[in-house]
Structure 1
Protein backbone atom coordinates (compact mmCIF):
# COMPACT_ATOMS: atom_id res chain seq x y z
CA UNK A 1 0.00 0.00 0.00
CA UNK A 2 3.02 2.24 -0.39
CA UNK A 3 1.26 3.77 -3.40
CA UNK A 4 -1.24 5.39 -1.03
CA UNK A 5 1.38 6.35 1.55
CA UNK A 6 3.59 8.34 -0.84
CA UNK A 7 1.01 11.03 -1.49
CA UNK A 8 -1.18 8.76 -3.60
CA UNK A 9 -3.98 9.06 -1.07
CA UNK A 10 -4.13 12.81 -1.65
CA UNK A 11 -4.33 12.25 -5.39
CA UNK A 12 -7.16 9.73 -4.96
CA UNK A 13 -9.01 12.20 -2.75
CA UNK A 14 -8.58 14.95 -5.36
CA UNK A 15 -9.89 12.59 -8.06
CA UNK A 16 -12.93 11.83 -5.92
CA UNK A 17 -13.51 15.56 -5.55
CA UNK A 18 -13.85 15.82 -9.34
CA UNK A 19 -17.10 13.86 -8.97
CA UNK A 20 -18.51 14.80 -5.57
CA UNK A 21 -18.44 17.96 -3.49
CA UNK A 22 -15.95 18.31 -0.67
CA UNK A 23 -18.49 18.04 2.14
CA UNK A 24 -19.79 14.74 0.71
CA UNK A 25 -16.28 13.31 0.46
CA UNK A 26 -15.36 14.44 3.98
CA UNK A 27 -18.60 13.02 5.39
CA UNK A 28 -17.96 9.69 3.65
CA UNK A 29 -14.43 9.43 4.99
CA UNK A 30 -15.56 10.46 8.49
CA UNK A 31 -18.53 8.07 8.51
CA UNK A 32 -16.37 5.11 7.56
CA UNK A 33 -13.48 5.97 9.87
CA UNK A 34 -12.82 2.87 11.91
CA UNK A 35 -15.69 0.99 10.25
CA UNK A 36 -14.13 -0.13 6.98
CA UNK A 37 -15.71 -0.04 3.56
CA UNK A 38 -18.12 -3.00 3.56
CA UNK A 39 -21.05 -0.93 2.28
CA UNK A 40 -18.96 0.59 -0.52
CA UNK A 41 -17.69 -2.85 -1.54
CA UNK A 42 -21.22 -4.27 -1.62
CA UNK A 43 -22.52 -1.40 -3.72
CA UNK A 44 -19.60 -1.62 -6.17
CA UNK A 45 -20.10 -5.38 -6.57
CA UNK A 46 -23.85 -4.91 -7.08
CA UNK A 47 -23.18 -2.38 -9.84
CA UNK A 48 -20.65 -4.64 -11.57
CA UNK A 49 -22.86 -7.73 -11.25
CA UNK A 50 -25.88 -5.77 -12.47
CA UNK A 51 -23.97 -4.73 -15.56
CA UNK A 52 -23.19 -8.39 -16.31
CA UNK A 53 -26.82 -9.34 -15.71
CA UNK A 54 -28.05 -6.80 -18.25
CA UNK A 55 -25.97 -8.42 -20.99
CA UNK A 56 -27.22 -11.85 -20.00
CA UNK A 57 -30.84 -10.72 -19.83
CA UNK A 58 -30.80 -9.34 -23.37
CA UNK A 59 -29.39 -12.61 -24.68
CA UNK A 60 -32.08 -14.69 -22.94
CA UNK A 61 -34.83 -12.54 -24.43
CA UNK A 62 -34.59 -14.54 -27.65
CA UNK A 63 -35.39 -17.77 -25.80
CA UNK A 64 -38.51 -16.18 -24.32
CA UNK A 65 -39.57 -15.17 -27.81
CA UNK A 66 -39.32 -18.81 -28.88
CA UNK A 67 -36.52 -18.31 -31.39
CA UNK A 68 -34.51 -21.33 -32.58
CA UNK A 69 -31.43 -22.30 -30.55
CA UNK A 70 -28.92 -20.98 -33.11
CA UNK A 71 -30.63 -17.58 -33.07
CA UNK A 72 -30.50 -17.58 -29.28
CA UNK A 73 -26.79 -18.44 -29.34
CA UNK A 74 -26.08 -15.76 -31.94
CA UNK A 75 -28.04 -13.15 -29.97
CA UNK A 76 -26.29 -14.05 -26.69
CA UNK A 77 -22.84 -13.81 -28.25
CA UNK A 78 -23.64 -10.58 -30.07
CA UNK A 79 -25.16 -8.89 -27.04
CA UNK A 80 -22.25 -9.98 -24.83
CA UNK A 81 -19.87 -8.10 -27.12
CA UNK A 82 -21.89 -4.93 -27.70
CA UNK A 83 -21.53 -2.17 -25.12
CA UNK A 84 -24.81 -1.32 -23.46
CA UNK A 85 -25.87 2.27 -22.82
CA UNK A 86 -24.51 3.55 -19.52
CA UNK A 87 -22.24 0.50 -19.12
CA UNK A 88 -19.12 2.65 -18.94
CA UNK A 89 -20.71 4.97 -16.40
CA UNK A 90 -21.76 2.02 -14.21
CA UNK A 91 -18.20 0.68 -14.28
CA UNK A 92 -16.73 4.13 -13.47
CA UNK A 93 -19.03 4.43 -10.46
CA UNK A 94 -18.19 0.92 -9.25
CA UNK A 95 -14.44 1.38 -9.68
CA UNK A 96 -14.63 4.77 -7.97
CA UNK A 97 -16.41 3.19 -5.01
CA UNK A 98 -13.69 0.53 -4.80
CA UNK A 99 -10.89 3.11 -5.00
CA UNK A 100 -12.57 5.26 -2.33
CA UNK A 101 -13.04 2.24 -0.08
CA UNK A 102 -9.40 1.20 -0.39
CA UNK A 103 -8.37 4.80 0.32
CA UNK A 104 -10.58 4.92 3.42
CA UNK A 105 -9.18 1.65 4.78
CA UNK A 106 -5.61 2.74 4.10
CA UNK A 107 -6.06 6.23 5.55
CA UNK A 108 -7.64 4.68 8.60
CA UNK A 109 -4.59 2.52 9.20
CA UNK A 110 -6.76 -0.60 9.03
CA UNK A 111 -5.22 -3.97 8.28
CA UNK A 112 -5.60 -4.17 4.52
CA UNK A 113 -6.68 -7.82 4.69
CA UNK A 114 -9.80 -6.50 6.42
CA UNK A 115 -10.58 -4.02 3.61
CA UNK A 116 -13.79 -5.23 1.94
CA UNK A 117 -13.15 -3.31 -1.31
CA UNK A 118 -9.65 -4.72 -1.62
CA UNK A 119 -10.80 -8.23 -0.73
CA UNK A 120 -13.67 -8.11 -3.26
CA UNK A 121 -11.39 -6.85 -6.00
CA UNK A 122 -8.73 -9.50 -5.36
CA UNK A 123 -11.22 -12.37 -5.05
CA UNK A 124 -13.28 -11.45 -8.10
CA UNK A 125 -10.64 -10.01 -10.40
CA UNK A 126 -7.13 -10.72 -9.14
CA UNK A 127 -3.91 -8.94 -8.23
CA UNK A 128 -3.32 -7.41 -11.68
CA UNK A 129 -6.73 -5.72 -11.62
CA UNK A 130 -6.04 -4.39 -8.12
CA UNK A 131 -2.78 -2.84 -9.32
CA UNK A 132 -4.56 -1.39 -12.36
CA UNK A 133 -7.24 0.10 -10.12
CA UNK A 134 -4.70 1.80 -7.87
CA UNK A 135 -2.67 3.13 -10.79
CA UNK A 136 -5.85 4.32 -12.50
CA UNK A 137 -7.20 5.87 -9.31
CA UNK A 138 -4.27 8.29 -9.43
CA UNK A 139 -5.40 9.46 -12.87
CA UNK A 140 -8.74 10.33 -14.44
CA UNK A 141 -11.36 8.01 -12.93
CA UNK A 142 -13.42 8.07 -16.12
CA UNK A 143 -10.68 5.92 -17.65
CA UNK A 144 -10.71 3.29 -14.87
CA UNK A 145 -12.80 0.65 -16.68
CA UNK A 146 -10.66 0.78 -19.83
CA UNK A 147 -7.46 0.79 -17.80
CA UNK A 148 -8.59 -2.25 -15.90
CA UNK A 149 -9.75 -4.15 -18.96
CA UNK A 150 -12.98 -4.20 -17.03
CA UNK A 151 -13.85 -7.74 -15.99
CA UNK A 152 -17.52 -7.06 -16.61
CA UNK A 153 -16.99 -5.81 -20.14
CA UNK A 154 -17.92 -7.94 -23.08
CA UNK A 155 -15.08 -10.30 -24.09
CA UNK A 156 -14.59 -8.80 -27.56
CA UNK A 157 -14.40 -5.21 -26.29
CA UNK A 158 -11.63 -5.36 -23.71
Structure 2
Protein backbone atom coordinates (compact mmCIF):
# COMPACT_ATOMS: atom_id res chain seq x y z
CA UNK A 1 0.00 0.00 0.00
CA UNK A 2 1.44 3.45 -0.91
CA UNK A 3 1.99 5.94 1.90
CA UNK A 4 -0.98 8.27 2.30
CA UNK A 5 -0.51 11.92 1.46
CA UNK A 6 -1.38 14.99 3.52
CA UNK A 7 -4.92 14.89 4.87
CA UNK A 8 -7.50 17.58 4.42
CA UNK A 9 -6.54 19.56 6.43
CA UNK A 10 -5.79 17.53 9.61
CA UNK A 11 -4.47 14.11 10.59
CA UNK A 12 -1.44 14.31 8.31
CA UNK A 13 1.64 12.18 8.54
CA UNK A 14 4.97 13.92 8.93
CA UNK A 15 6.23 15.31 5.60
CA UNK A 16 9.40 13.94 4.09
CA UNK A 17 12.36 16.26 3.71
CA UNK A 18 12.72 17.95 0.35
CA UNK A 19 15.93 17.04 -1.43
CA UNK A 20 17.93 18.66 -4.18
CA UNK A 21 20.71 16.81 -5.96
CA UNK A 22 24.12 18.37 -6.36
CA UNK A 23 25.19 19.50 -9.85
CA UNK A 24 26.16 16.57 -12.01
CA UNK A 25 29.24 16.29 -14.12
CA UNK A 26 28.73 18.10 -17.41
CA UNK A 27 28.65 16.12 -20.62
CA UNK A 28 30.55 17.51 -23.58
CA UNK A 29 29.23 17.67 -27.09
CA UNK A 30 26.66 19.45 -29.21
CA UNK A 31 24.59 16.59 -30.58
CA UNK A 32 20.88 17.34 -30.63
CA UNK A 33 18.51 15.25 -28.58
CA UNK A 34 14.75 15.12 -28.22
CA UNK A 35 13.09 18.38 -29.27
CA UNK A 36 16.25 19.64 -30.99
CA UNK A 37 17.97 20.53 -27.69
CA UNK A 38 21.75 20.20 -27.78
CA UNK A 39 23.73 18.53 -25.02
CA UNK A 40 25.04 21.94 -23.98
CA UNK A 41 21.54 23.39 -23.75
CA UNK A 42 20.33 20.38 -21.79
CA UNK A 43 23.24 20.73 -19.38
CA UNK A 44 22.42 24.40 -18.82
CA UNK A 45 18.77 23.59 -18.23
CA UNK A 46 19.71 20.93 -15.71
CA UNK A 47 22.08 23.28 -13.90
CA UNK A 48 19.37 25.95 -13.74
CA UNK A 49 16.92 23.48 -12.18
CA UNK A 50 19.52 22.23 -9.69
CA UNK A 51 20.44 25.76 -8.58
CA UNK A 52 16.77 26.64 -8.11
CA UNK A 53 16.23 23.46 -6.08
CA UNK A 54 19.18 24.20 -3.83
CA UNK A 55 17.90 27.76 -3.33
CA UNK A 56 14.33 26.70 -2.48
CA UNK A 57 14.87 23.48 -0.53
CA UNK A 58 15.07 25.21 2.87
CA UNK A 59 11.62 26.78 2.38
CA UNK A 60 10.11 23.43 1.44
CA UNK A 61 11.53 21.77 4.56
CA UNK A 62 10.15 24.40 6.95
CA UNK A 63 6.59 23.14 7.38
CA UNK A 64 5.70 24.06 3.81
CA UNK A 65 3.89 20.81 3.06
CA UNK A 66 1.40 21.10 5.90
CA UNK A 67 0.70 24.80 5.43
CA UNK A 68 0.18 24.50 1.68
CA UNK A 69 -2.10 21.51 2.24
CA UNK A 70 -4.26 23.71 4.47
CA UNK A 71 -4.43 26.42 1.81
CA UNK A 72 -5.46 23.90 -0.85
CA UNK A 73 -8.11 22.53 1.51
CA UNK A 74 -9.93 25.85 1.22
CA UNK A 75 -10.68 25.21 -2.45
CA UNK A 76 -11.28 21.47 -2.89
CA UNK A 77 -13.20 18.80 -1.03
CA UNK A 78 -11.62 16.30 1.31
CA UNK A 79 -12.51 13.45 -1.05
CA UNK A 80 -10.85 15.14 -4.04
CA UNK A 81 -7.73 16.01 -2.05
CA UNK A 82 -7.24 12.55 -0.57
CA UNK A 83 -7.87 10.91 -3.95
CA UNK A 84 -5.16 13.04 -5.53
CA UNK A 85 -2.61 11.54 -3.14
CA UNK A 86 -3.88 7.97 -3.31
CA UNK A 87 -1.53 6.66 -6.03
CA UNK A 88 0.26 7.54 -9.27
CA UNK A 89 1.68 10.68 -7.69
CA UNK A 90 4.56 11.07 -10.15
CA UNK A 91 2.26 10.67 -13.14
CA UNK A 92 -0.20 13.17 -11.69
CA UNK A 93 2.55 15.72 -11.16
CA UNK A 94 3.32 15.56 -14.88
CA UNK A 95 -0.32 15.98 -15.79
CA UNK A 96 -0.71 18.90 -13.40
CA UNK A 97 2.37 20.44 -15.03
CA UNK A 98 0.95 19.92 -18.51
CA UNK A 99 -2.35 21.52 -17.55
CA UNK A 100 -0.67 24.51 -15.91
CA UNK A 101 1.56 25.02 -18.95
CA UNK A 102 -1.43 24.93 -21.31
CA UNK A 103 -3.25 27.57 -19.27
CA UNK A 104 -0.24 29.89 -18.87
CA UNK A 105 0.80 29.76 -22.52
CA UNK A 106 -2.74 30.62 -23.59
CA UNK A 107 -3.31 27.49 -25.66
CA UNK A 108 -6.87 27.58 -24.38
CA UNK A 109 -7.94 31.11 -23.42
CA UNK A 110 -10.94 30.16 -21.33
CA UNK A 111 -12.43 33.45 -20.26
CA UNK A 112 -15.47 31.50 -19.11
CA UNK A 113 -13.14 29.19 -17.20
CA UNK A 114 -15.57 27.82 -14.64
CA UNK A 115 -18.20 26.87 -17.20
CA UNK A 116 -15.93 25.45 -19.89
CA UNK A 117 -13.09 23.87 -17.96
CA UNK A 118 -14.72 20.46 -17.42
CA UNK A 119 -14.83 19.54 -21.12
CA UNK A 120 -11.44 21.10 -21.79
CA UNK A 121 -9.71 19.26 -18.98
CA UNK A 122 -11.29 16.00 -20.07
CA UNK A 123 -9.73 16.42 -23.51
CA UNK A 124 -6.39 17.61 -22.16
CA UNK A 125 -5.86 15.12 -19.35
CA UNK A 126 -7.35 11.99 -20.84
CA UNK A 127 -8.53 9.41 -18.36
CA UNK A 128 -7.21 10.82 -15.09
CA UNK A 129 -10.52 11.96 -13.68
CA UNK A 130 -9.00 12.73 -10.28
CA UNK A 131 -6.67 15.37 -11.75
CA UNK A 132 -9.58 16.71 -13.78
CA UNK A 133 -11.74 17.01 -10.68
CA UNK A 134 -8.99 18.73 -8.69
CA UNK A 135 -8.25 21.30 -11.40
CA UNK A 136 -11.94 21.94 -12.03
CA UNK A 137 -12.75 22.52 -8.35
CA UNK A 138 -9.69 24.69 -7.86
CA UNK A 139 -10.65 26.89 -10.81
CA UNK A 140 -14.27 27.10 -9.72
CA UNK A 141 -13.50 28.14 -6.15
CA UNK A 142 -10.72 30.71 -6.51
CA UNK A 143 -12.65 34.01 -6.21
CA UNK A 144 -11.00 36.09 -8.93
CA UNK A 145 -11.90 37.58 -12.33
CA UNK A 146 -11.38 35.14 -15.22
CA UNK A 147 -7.89 36.16 -16.34
CA UNK A 148 -6.49 36.29 -12.80
CA UNK A 149 -8.31 33.04 -12.02
CA UNK A 150 -6.46 31.33 -14.88
CA UNK A 151 -3.08 32.41 -13.54
CA UNK A 152 -3.87 31.47 -9.92
CA UNK A 153 -5.25 28.10 -11.02
CA UNK A 154 -2.18 27.30 -13.12
CA UNK A 155 0.20 28.25 -10.32
CA UNK A 156 -1.91 26.29 -7.86
CA UNK A 157 -1.59 23.21 -10.06
CA UNK A 158 2.19 23.62 -10.21
CA UNK A 159 2.44 24.06 -6.44
CA UNK A 160 0.30 20.96 -5.94
CA UNK A 161 2.59 19.00 -8.24
CA UNK A 162 5.59 20.02 -6.12
CA UNK A 163 3.67 18.91 -3.04
CA UNK A 164 2.90 15.53 -4.62
CA UNK A 165 6.59 14.98 -5.36
CA UNK A 166 7.62 15.93 -1.83
CA UNK A 167 5.13 13.49 -0.36
CA UNK A 168 6.40 10.84 -2.77
CA UNK A 169 9.98 11.44 -1.62
CA UNK A 170 11.16 12.53 -5.08
CA UNK A 171 14.12 14.80 -5.70
CA UNK A 172 13.00 18.30 -6.68
CA UNK A 173 15.11 18.17 -9.83
CA UNK A 174 12.90 15.32 -11.10
CA UNK A 175 9.60 17.04 -10.30
CA UNK A 176 8.08 18.26 -13.57
CA UNK A 177 6.13 21.07 -11.92
CA UNK A 178 9.26 22.37 -10.19
CA UNK A 179 11.27 21.96 -13.40
CA UNK A 180 8.78 24.11 -15.30
CA UNK A 181 8.92 26.81 -12.63
CA UNK A 182 12.72 26.77 -12.55
CA UNK A 183 13.09 27.00 -16.33
CA UNK A 184 10.54 29.81 -16.61
CA UNK A 185 11.49 31.98 -13.64
CA UNK A 186 14.59 33.15 -11.78
CA UNK A 187 15.22 31.10 -8.65
CA UNK A 188 14.22 34.07 -6.47
CA UNK A 189 10.85 34.23 -8.23
CA UNK A 190 10.31 30.48 -7.86
CA UNK A 191 10.86 30.88 -4.14
CA UNK A 192 8.34 33.74 -4.03
CA UNK A 193 5.72 31.54 -5.70
CA UNK A 194 6.32 28.72 -3.24
CA UNK A 195 6.11 31.14 -0.30
CA UNK A 196 2.95 32.77 -1.71
CA UNK A 197 1.34 29.32 -1.79
CA UNK A 198 1.43 29.34 2.01
CA UNK A 199 -1.03 32.25 1.99
CA UNK A 200 -4.41 32.73 0.31
CA UNK A 201 -4.04 31.20 -3.16
CA UNK A 202 -5.55 34.28 -4.77
CA UNK A 203 -2.04 35.72 -4.26
CA UNK A 204 -0.77 33.29 -6.90
CA UNK A 205 -2.43 35.48 -9.53
CA UNK A 206 0.49 37.88 -9.05
CA UNK A 207 2.74 35.51 -11.01
CA UNK A 208 1.61 35.39 -14.66
CA UNK A 209 3.82 33.86 -17.31
CA UNK A 210 6.40 36.13 -18.87
CA UNK A 211 5.44 37.32 -22.39
CA UNK A 212 8.54 35.68 -23.90
CA UNK A 213 7.59 32.35 -22.33
CA UNK A 214 4.04 32.59 -23.68
CA UNK A 215 5.22 33.46 -27.19
CA UNK A 216 7.90 30.78 -27.37
CA UNK A 217 6.06 28.07 -25.42
CA UNK A 218 9.20 27.21 -23.47
CA UNK A 219 7.60 25.30 -20.60
CA UNK A 220 9.21 21.91 -20.12
CA UNK A 221 5.85 20.11 -20.15
CA UNK A 222 3.90 22.23 -22.63
CA UNK A 223 2.69 20.32 -25.63
CA UNK A 224 3.61 16.91 -24.22
Q: Superposition RMSD on alpha carbons, in Å?
A: 2.2
Aligned position for 1:75: none
Q: Per-residue displacement from partner, 1:31-63 (whole Å, max 9, x unpaired)? A: 343546110000000000117978xxxxxxxxx
- Take 1:7 and 1:32, find their aligned partners in 2: how far apart are those partners? 24
Aligned position for 2:179: 119
Give structure 1 regions of 4+ aligned residues with deviation exceeding 6 angstroms. 51-54
Distance 1:152 1:90, change over 3 A: farther
Aligned position for 2:192: 132
State yes or no: 1:101 paired with 2:161.
yes
State yes or no: 1:30 paired with 2:97.
no
- Take 2:77 and 2:210, find their aligned partners in 1: how far apart are those partners? 28
Structure with greater contact order relative to length (CA < 8 Å, sep ≥ 6): 1
- Take 2:107 and 2:187, find their aligned partners in 1: how far apart are those partners? 22
- Take 2:148 and 2:97, find their aligned partners in 1: how far apart are those partners? 18
State yes or no: 1:151 paired with 2:209.
yes
- Take 1:141 and 1:47, find their aligned partners in 2: how far apart are those partners? 17
State yes or no: 1:6 paired with 2:62.
yes
Taking structure 1 as the reference length, the TM-score comes to 0.69
Aligned position for 2:11: none
State yes or no: 1:42 paired with 2:98.
yes
Aligned position for 1:18: 74
Higher helix fraction: Structure 1 or Structure 2?
Answer: 1
Aligned position for 1:141: 201
Segments of structure 2 that go 5 or more residues without pairing to the other structure are: 1-56, 111-144, 212-224
Aligned position for 1:71: none
Is the 2:162–2:178 Cα contact (8 Å) retained in structure 1? yes
The alignment of Structure 1 onto Structure 2 pairs a total of residues equal to: 121
- Take 2:197 and 2:91, find their aligned partners in 1: how far apart are those partners? 22
Segments of structure 1 that go 5 or more residues without pairing to the other structure are: 55-84, 154-158
Q: Per-residue displacement from partner, 1:4-42 (whole Å, max 9, x unpaired)? A: 322210111111111100110111122343546110000
Alpha-carbon offset, residue 125 of structure 1: 2.1
